[in-house]
Amino acid sequence: MKKEFLRMLVQMQLDPARQRLIYGFFERYLKLTVEEEKTLMQEVRDLDPNLVEKIMEIPISHEEKGKEIGKEIATKNIARNMIIEGASVEFIKKVTNLSVDKILSLKKSINKSK
């Protein structure tokens, strides 16, 4: 289904902003597992080379995953700075929504590096 959607999206020849909007909506409601994503990419590679090139230009779910990873890294950096400044574990948990275990693990890694 997703392969057909990508094919139709490319054939509509929309500007990048509209393409991103429509694809983003579709991505929200049809999440693929890592294995399904691999299968999709293999199937896409078997399409017409012109379509493949255009499909690969669409910001696929990797962009969203990248944002999530970036947010996680930023959150951990904030927590790390709060630990260095002496904030309590409970306060850090409240501000960052990190688990106590993750905060304690960060705290331990900071203490080892000193």
Mean predicted lDDT score pLDDT of the chain: 81
For residue 10, the model assigns a pLDDT of 78
pTM passes above 0.85:
no
- Using CB atoms within 10 A of its CB, is residue 87 exposed (0-12), middle (13-18) or buried (19+)? middle
- Over residues 53-66, the pLDDT tens digits come to 777 666 655 566 66
User: pLDDT, tens digit, for every residue of 80-102?
Assistant: 999 999 999 999 999 999 999 99
H or E element that contains 31: none
